[in-house]
Homo-oligomer: A and B are copies of this chain.
Amino acid sequence: MTRPAYRRAEPDARRQSLIEAAARVLADRGAAGASVRTICAEAGVSPGLLRHYFDGIDALIAETYAWAGERVSRALEEAVADAGPEPRARLTAYVTGSFRAPIADPDLLATWIAFWSLARSNPAMEAMHRQVYADYLGPLEALLTECGVPAGAARMQAVAVTALVDGMWLELCLAPGVFSPEEASATARDWIARLLG
């Protein structure tokens, strides 16, 4: 009855479990509580192992942000795909998708905040942020162009739509109850209607 003291995991699975543990710790203890020890404990792993898979805790936070960002992007892409071929319906789906699960999740904000706090002082993190931001802007700009927004204006309109959605998403996560996800969604649709005329 000598069961193994630990078991080896697939390298990718172990990395992923650390990333998800980091997201969980960020979610319920905040950036201040996200230390090497707490994250590794959450992952059920010894503290020393973190450095075996990541350059350091900042690198883990960055990868957690990238992973969460991809998850958000994928959710939005699916929402758009489910909306059918009509451009305007696709744009509406993109915009309102941010106010539904799994994106409208206060826990998710914790990852963003932790990363923003790194991005402001670490050039490599800032570059990663620019990349993720560009990946948001791109598809949205294409969607707007399909909806008839002039090519020259599409870029800044994509910036504005993103700002509107992110701004409401932020407050929805920071202070839930001030307005509802449904109100946010309806207001965003209203603004889109005004934009497209």
Tell me, in angstroms, the Cα distance from A173 to B28 when the chains sit together.
27
* Identical copies in the complex: 2
A75 to chain B, nearest CB (A): 19
Interface size on A, residues (CB 8 A): 47
Interface residues of A in 6-49 (CB under 8 A from B): 28-33
Q: Inside 8 A of A165's CB, which chain B residues have their CB?
A: 163, 167
Q: With A130-B175, A156-B187 in contact, do A117 and B120 touch (Cβ < 8 Å)?
A: no
Asked if A175 and B117 make an inter-chain contact with CB atoms under 8 angstroms apart, the answer reads: no
Q: With A164-B163, A165-B167, A179-B156 in contact, do A118 and B30 touch (Cβ < 8 Å)?
A: yes
The binding surface of chain A is classed by DSSP as helix
Tell me, in angstroms, the Cα distance from A109 to B118 when the chains sit together.
12
Q: Inside 8 A of A167's CB, which chain B residues have their CB?
A: 162-167, 170
